[in-house]
A and B are shown apart, each in its own frame.
Chain A
Amino acid sequence: MFANKVLGIAGAGTGTATAAMCTLEKRGNFFLLTLTGDNEHRLNPTLISSLRSALAEAKAQSVPGSALITTAQGKFFSNGFDLKWAEAGGSASANHARLHHMGDLFKLVLADLLSLPMPTIAAVTGHAAAAGLMLAMSHDYVLMRRDRGVLYMSELDIGLIIPDYFMALIRSKVSSASAQRCLVLQASKVKGQEAVKMGVVDSAHDSGEQAMEAAVRLGEQLGKRNWNGEVYKEIRKAMCPEICSLLGLSNKGIVLSRL
């Protein structure tokens, strides 16, 4: 039997006790990061801070063979930045500042994921929009359910510019120009099957449970290779130099001493 240990992740401190917005559990060789609760998992400073703590914990406990699976409860994987919170700033300039603040904090989450010393898998069990889609796409593998949920770059419909590092991620992960146009310039709502055709997602599964099971199987397969996490992460970063540069990530060469 594998240990199913919940590693406590505290919400960002405002002094009052906040319900955990995400949990990190260890199951066998992999870490399961879950965005908890049946809500939109809006990426506000609190959730972002929880995610960063979880990723730091996974990184600290990483060993050869580790893997990360990220998923979410409820109808949404994540519906993007917390625009309601941004709109409550009190003035236009305060509102813009709040939006920029979430963007700056979120860059750190993406940097954490791209530097995580283990393979990463997103099991997209609900809608993933805007920054929520970027969260999914910054994983090495993206698995999705085909029966429900859409991928959606909502910015054009809302009237928001897409940040440069989002565009760099899209351009590095979505190779076809027409798929990029479909996502960005048509703000299409893309279901699982089509997402596979567009090359945005690796595979589509009949239900949320099946997507998770496939993620676990993939995590176990990858784990068996017992890769050195530092080497894995450097090679991953080398494959997406533009976004790494925008996120302030540098590269280093490693040769393991056993050679």
Chain B
Amino acid sequence: MCTLEKRGNIFYLTLTGDDEHRLNPTLISSIRSALAEAGSQSVPGSVLITTAQGKFFSNGFDLKWAQKAGSDSMARLEHMVELFKPVVADLISLPMPTIAAVTGHAAAAGFILAMSHDYVLMRRDRGVMYMSELDIGMTLPDYFTALIRSKIGSDSARRGLVLRAAKIKAEEAVEMGIVDSAHDNGEEAVEAAVRLGEQLSKRKWDGAVYGELRKSLHPETCGVLGLVNKEVLPSRL
């Protein structure tokens, strides 16, 4: 359901298969394993690039799986919300720069997955960002709203995203400050992600320091995720 490859300094996390990459317990667990693996192999200069095959980056939680449980469907949904929280926490703590190459639709939890990365690059020819919850009739988990508030500064952008459930293409996403750059197609988005990754890798930053600095930029989100700050003693002293 996802693979982790290492090429040079860059870890590639790919959501595999031409499906919606719905975040069910199985996929969530695969992603967590991949992130743990990348984290444990981190060296100065490591970078993570996350991308997906097919038409979707990720279409969010597996609501069909939840609905199959009949009267227990709420419990299944809550279960996925709770299981996904550590994925966001893992990404916010990851001891290396992270880049999402959004090569397809990213909706709801799938949008949050992308936004949990330091840099978000997207293709402009296809695919939308979409917080579908309002259309479906669901409220947002606390860690979703904390992340959105922390990463998206503009009040009108946040409003467009969550209170109008807008389907946002790459160009508009760049204007709204949701996405860093828009690229002509999927391959170009990935290539741009690789170039950015190589630039960041050249700085050879200490991963533990990087992870702590990233966390300190998002104190409210870290609070909601239960992440605390760690003292990292400077090695040069």
- Chain A residues near B232 (CB-CB < 8 A): 161
Bound Cα distance A160, B216 (Å): 13
The answer to whether residues A159 and B209 also contact, given A87-B237, A175-B153, A177-B177 and a CB cut-off of 8 A, is yes
Given contacts A89-B237, A160-B209, A184-B217, 19 further A-B contacts (CB under 8 A): A86-B237, A92-B237, A95-B237, A96-B237, A156-B203, A156-B210, A158-B234, A159-B236, A161-B212, A161-B216, A171-B219, A175-B153, A176-B153, A176-B177, A177-B150, A177-B177, A177-B217, A180-B217, A185-B97
In this complex, the member of B151, B229, B237 whose beta carbon has the largest number of chain A beta carbons within 10 angstroms is B237
The answer to whether residues A185 and B231 also contact, given A95-B237, A162-B216, A177-B153 and a CB cut-off of 8 A, is no
> Does any Cβ of A come within 8 Å of B194's Cβ?
no
Contact B217 A167 (CB under 8 A): yes
Question: C-beta contact mask, A145-157 vs B, less than 8 Å → 1, else 0?
Answer: 0000000000111
Contact B206 A159 (CB under 8 A): yes
The total of Cβ contacts below 8 Å across the A-B interface reads: 74
Residues of A within 8 A of B (CB): 83, 86-87, 89, 92, 95-96, 99, 155-162, 164, 167, 171, 175-178, 180-181, 184-187
Q: Is the interface of B mostly helix, strand, loop or mixed?
A: loop
Contact B231 A161 (CB under 8 A): yes
Bound Cα distance A141, B232 (Å): 33
- Chain B residues near A167 (CB-CB < 8 A): 216-217, 219
- Chain B residues near A176 (CB-CB < 8 A): 153, 177
Report A78 CB to chain B, min CB distance, Å: 19
Report B25 CB to chain A, min CB distance, Å: 31
